[in-house]
Amino acid sequence: MYAIEALSLSKRFGNIQALSQVDFTVNEGETFGFLGPNGAGKTTTIRILTGISAPTQGSARIFGRDIVRDTIAARRQMGIVHETSNIYTDLSAWQNLMFTAELYNVGKKEREKRGAELLELFGLTERRDDKTNGFSKGMKRRLTLAMGLINHPRLLFLDEPTSGLDVQSNLIIRDVISELNKTGVTVFLTTHNIEEANLACDRVAIINRGHIAAIDSPERLKNTIQSVQSIEVAFDPVSLVRVEDLEQIPSVSEVRKQGDKFRLITEDPPGVLEEIMEYSRNHNVRVISVTTLGPSLEDVFIRLTGLDIRTKGVKAID
Amino acid sequence: MTELGEHCDQVCTELHAAWAIAKKDIIIYYLKPNIIVSGMLFPIFMFLAFAIGRPEVPAVMIPGLIAITILFSASSIEPVSIPIERRMKTFDRLLSAPISLHTVVLGESMSGFLYSLGIAFVPLIAGLILFPTPIVGFAALIAGLVLTSFCFATMGTLFAAYPTESPGDIMSMLNLVRLPLIFVSGVLIPLEQIPQIGQYIAYFSPLTYGNDLIQAAFAGDTHFNPAIDVVMLLLFILIFQFVANRLYKKYND
């Protein structure tokens, strides 16, 4: 049985076709990434899969339960971690957890045991009885994740779980996701952090303009665009190097400045390497490091969504 | 488990969840000192506004005052709390929980109901202590307080279905309904004394039946049979609950 089956999901809002014939399945125990630029249909898909919104056409099943006809039974299998840390800031961490447990019909003894475990797991035990309006962004995010796990879900929807967090919270959350996966929990991960999806997901789907553009494992997706290779080079002094000059090198299709380095996209890395050395001699700059890179999941994303990286930044896709 | 057993189990689960929502709202919104104090001051100001300069014995006004207090206290908090929860995205938590929309509406209404029931005791106790207002029908009083409170709490939840994150948007719409209700429901002017057209309109106001039922508890003298008041209030509760459910479903899609 699949954890999620999306069958020809379509959703129309007035004249806007938000989703069009979206088909995919998520296996039980899999960590599945769902990537796409803003407005691509990610949120609409999640709202349909969690039963908040109904599809205009098509259907979705959660562990075999139709999300429209059998909404409550389907939702009992899920934990949902929304994009915003939607906790009640006038309640304590403990009250937030207990309230969520009551919504999910978790018995008193079980919810108290599970609540204490989760507070410990997310490093919040000492703040258990504090109102959460004094919590940091990372603590609120950790509590949101704990609330999503209070009912021992078989399927966890994670919407941008680590976006904008401090290092400690990031590490705790990534570690918990990894551990969940080992215990057989299916994770549906929506993220803008492509590297996170690359590292955490068994498979990813890329959605663009309401259509699924690709679904596969990160490595296989990268293999589909092997032509997108690149050379990352650092010069000293960097101030003397101009992107426009590097773009003149034959067979370089694109140059991206990334911090103190330049990334040159090319189908001919050896040829470009020679040209770079020539450039450094002619312009009196020293090459201090060179790395040859294969295509990244980000390259796949950019290729499939047609996103213009030069106007949108490199890591933050939106 | 039999099908009936499963059904009963689901009903218990839903009621428990509704109570959890009500408890949450009471802690977050209703047990705030400013809300309690303003709720208690409201009937006092209403009393002064309508009693000063009027020839009637103040005791005559107590049932109407209780009815108005319930109308405003029961329907005021959800139109504020639900838009705030939309803004904080906590409302999504309720919408995505394994409970029906009816339970969300019921839970939200329960907190307003309990709050207004508590506030209604201010004019009730003041009436008993300060003025000669004996209660002649306890059953009518209990039914009147409970049903009227629940009816207007559900009405507040219904108005809060309007998809906005600004409480002011809902309060302005709500006041367009609540204020005229006071004048056409026999609270300030007995139904018999208002023009015929006003009497027809009064039949469509839940405040008419709530006020009439509470009047029955104090005066024993009413416009309708108390049984009709009870049936009509139950009908309004069902209509408000049904419409609220449909609106939340529509606006959250």
Predicted local distance difference test score (pLDDT) of residue B91: 94
Contacts of A82 in chain B (CB under 8 A): 89, 92-93, 96
Task: Among A105, A106, A131, A151, pick the best mutation site for testing chain B contact (most B Cβ within 10 A).
Answer: A105
Q: What is the DSSP string of chain B?
A: --HHHHHHHHHHHHHHHHHHHHHHHIIIIIS-HHHHHHHHHHHHHHHHHHHTT--S-HHHHHHHHHHHHHHHHHTTSHHHHHHHHHHHT-HHHHHTSSS-HHHHHHHHHHHHHHHHHHHHHHHHHHHHHHS----S-HHHHHHHHHHHHHHHHHHHHHHTTS--S-HHHHHHHHHHHHHHHHHHTTSSS-GGGS-HHHHHHHTT-HHHHHHHHHHHHHTS--SS-HHHHHHHHHHHHHHHHHHHHHHHHHHT-
Q: Sign of the C-alpha dihedral, residues A193, A194, A198, A202?
A: positive
Q: Band of the pLDDT at A315, cuts 50, 70, 90?
A: very low
Mean pLDDT of B35-63: 76
Over the stretch A71-84, which tens digit does the pLDDT of each residue have? 999 999 999 998 88
Q: Which residues of A touch B23 (CB under 8 A)?
A: 99
Is A2-217 CATH 3.40.50.300?
yes
Distance (Å) from the alpha carbon of A71 to chain B's nearest alpha carbon: 7
Residue B224 in contact with residue B212, Cβ under 8 Å?
yes
CATH architecture assigned to A229-293? 2-Layer Sandwich (3.30)
The rounded percent of chain B whose pLDDT value lies above 90 is 57
Q: Helix or strand or coil: residue A292?
A: strand
Chain A residues 109-168 with a CB less than 8 Å from chain B: none
pLDDT per residue over A169-200, tens digit each? 778 878 888 888 889 999 999 887 777 788 88
CA distance A278 to B64: 94
Query: Are residues A90 and B97, on separate chains, in Cβ contact within 8 Å?
Result: no
Give the residue-averaged pLDDT of B44-54: 75
- The per-residue pLDDT for range A236-289, each reduced to its tens digit, is 888 888 889 899 998 888 898 888 899 998 888 888 999 999 999 988 899 999
β partners of residue A79: A156
What tens digit of pLDDT does each residue of A35-69 get? 888 888 888 999 999 999 999 999 999 999 999 99
Note whether B96 contacts A91, CB cutoff 8 Å: no
Domain with CATH 3.40.50.300 in chain A: 2-217
What rounded mean pLDDT belongs to chain B? 89
Query: Is the Cβ of B13 closer than 8 Å to some Cβ of chain A?
Result: yes
User: Is the Cβ of A251 closer than 8 Å to some Cβ of chain B?
Assistant: no
Give long-range contacts, CB 8 A cutoff, 24+ apart: B178-183: B178/B71, B178/B72, B178/B75, B181/B71, B181/B205, B181/B207, B182/B68, B182/B71, B182/B207
**Average pLDDT of the segment spanning A217-229:** 76
B34 in A contact zone (CB under 8 Å): no
